[in-house]
Amino acid sequence: MSDPIESAILEKLSAIDPKGTNGKSIEPADVAKELQAERWQRMMPKVRAAAVTLMRKGRLTITKKGKAVDPTAFKGVIRLRHPTEAETAAALAARPPVAEDDDG
């Protein structure tokens, strides 16, 4: 993984929930503050975008009031946590199929 924001999110999640089984979550603002303490507000859109990318890959879940949200249609205060097995499967199933090159 080369994206430093994605790495920071996953590292912070792993620090509070190493096995990804206890359902603990983090605030995106904590990640933004860790990356740029002085201008963390400017980092928030990037952190949220990275969280959406990770959710689509099945690597985390975005929640609002403790419930998973649609990564394409959420607003307001959110939290990030490790996904359950069902959430990971759902995220991977929702991905568009990869077209194979036909050199035929």
Q: Which domains does the chain have, with CATH numbers?
A: 4-89 (1.10.10.10)
- Per-residue confidence (pLDDT) for residue 99, from 0 to 100: 65
Specify the pTM: 0.84
The mean pLDDT of 9-21, rounded to a whole number, is: 90
Cβ burial 49-62 (10 Å sphere, 16+ → b, else e): ebbebbbeebbbbb
Residue with more model confidence, 26 or 101: 26
pLDDT band for position 19 (cuts 50, 70, 90): confident
- Per-residue confidence (pLDDT) for residue 21, from 0 to 100: 82
63-78 residue pLDDT tens: 999 899 988 888 999 9
